[in-house]
Amino acid sequence: MNLPFQIDLANKVAVVTGGSGVLGSVFSKALAANGAKVAVLARNKEKIHHIVEEITDEGGEAVGFSADVLDKDALQQVKAQIHDQFGTVDILINGAGGNNPRATADQEYFSEPVDKETKTFFNLEQHAVEDLFNLNFLGTLLPTQVFAEDMIDKESCTIINISSMNAFKPLTKIPAYSGAKAAISNFTEWLSVHFSKVGIRVNAIAPGFFLTDQNRGMILDEQGNYSDRALKIISQTPMDRLGEAEELIGTLLWLVDEGSSSFVNGIVVPVDGGFSAYSGV
């Protein structure tokens, strides 16, 4: 892994939820490469094992846990195991989240007539929307309830949430995901104030458009070429491309490092190739 710069995370314990995903795995490896002891939380045991193995092969310290971020009791059990192996938690990266195709409309703009096969705003599945909000919002709130307890009145503790550019400007077709990520940005600001007297800084990263396992079907067609929607996204991104996962590392390390960002609290940082700055004309 190529790091843009080094910080000292020796003796720090970091928890990364969604830590086996495309972005979460990069966060996990970057923190370990800077000396942190990393607990990788995700659901897929095989992927977790792979990430932990990569970290340890590079000389880092990591342990993996298969856990549901919506199961608070399971998270408490994980915390107890982290205490036994590494000690109390200093850094929490809330990386778990994602979209749900059943909460996604087929149309960018509503128009009639509509055939029975078309998924419109009016027939988005309620349970899919609920599941999406739970994964993104409760999947951030519950790990914070569990792991932030360790951070009270410790030095140099931080929480980083993962928002999205959809929180600033909602994309067409995905109202539930956009709303859930807007909630993450708002929750980040709320937490930053709530914990400001006990030494915990809370910020968020809002990635623009990166190719991940979850959005691969939207970004690429069956031949592996950019889809029409991806080309539309790139046309609205002044840097004319998608982001690379490792391009998030600099922002992550800056926000984690007390020496670099000790007075930075309650912000949401876009990493988007200029998408949020472009008016479209």
Average pLDDT over the chain, rounded to an integer? 95
Q: How many residues does the chain have?
A: 281
Asked if residue 147 and residue 86 are part of one domain, the reply reads yes
Q: What is the pLDDT of residue 221?
A: 86
> Tokens standing for 101?
């195709």
Does some domain include residue 122? no
Q: Is residue 192 part of a domain?
A: yes
Please check whether residues 45 and 20 belong to one and the same domain.
Answer: yes
Residues 62 and 75 in one domain: yes
pLDDT at 218: 79
Judgement on whether residues 55 and 30 belong to the same structural domain of the protein: yes
pLDDT on residue 176: 97
Residue 25 confidence (pLDDT): 97
Could you tell me the CATH number of the domain that includes residue 59? Answer: 3.40.50.720
pLDDT at 147: 98
pLDDT, greater one: 69 or 227: 69
Establish if 119 belongs to a structural domain: no
Q: Is 157 left (phi over 0), alpha (psi -120 to 50) or beta?
A: beta
What mean pLDDT comes out for the span 68-91? 98
Q: Does residue 120 form part of some domain?
A: no
| Preceding peptide of 101 cis, ω within 30° | no
Q: What is the pLDDT of residues 88-122, one digit of tens each?
A: 999 999 999 999 999 999 999 999 888 888 999 99
Mean pLDDT of 57-80: 98
For residue 117, is it within any domain? no
Tens-digit pLDDT profile for residues 146-180: 999 999 999 999 999 999 999 999 999 999 999 99
The C-alpha R_g of the chain, in whole angstroms, comes to 19
Residue 222 has pLDDT above 90, yes or no: no
Count of the separate structural domains present in the chain: 2
Q: Are residues 89 and 173 in the same domain?
A: yes
| 199 and 149 within one domain | yes
Residues 234 and 250 in one domain: no
Sheet order of strands, 91-94 included: 61-66, 37-42, 13-17, 91-94, 157-162, 200-207, 268-271
Whether 27 is covered by a domain: the verdict is: yes
- Let me know whether 150 and 179 are in one domain: yes
Task: Tell whether 154 and 237 lie within a shared domain.
Answer: no
Contact 96, 25 (CB under 8 A): no
Looking at the structure, do residues 226 and 251 belong to the same domain, yes or no? no
User: 189-192: long-range contacts (C-beta < 8 A, 24 or more apart)?
Assistant: 189/266, 189/268, 191/144, 191/159, 192/265, 192/266
> Is 156 a domain residue?
yes
pLDDT of amino acid 9: 98
> Residues 232, 176: one domain?
no
Residues with a catalytic annotation lie at 177
pLDDT confidence tier of residue 198, bands split at 50, 70 and 90? very high
Instruction: pLDDT band for 213, please (50, 70, 90 cuts).
Output: confident
For the stretch 118-155, pLDDT in tens is 999 999 999 999 999 999 999 999 999 999 999 999 99
Residue 227 has pLDDT above 80, yes or no: yes
pLDDT for 69 beyond 90? yes
93 and 158 housed in the same domain = yes
pTM: 0.95
Share of the chain above pLDDT 90, in %: 89
Structural domain that includes position 28: 13-102+130-208+246-274
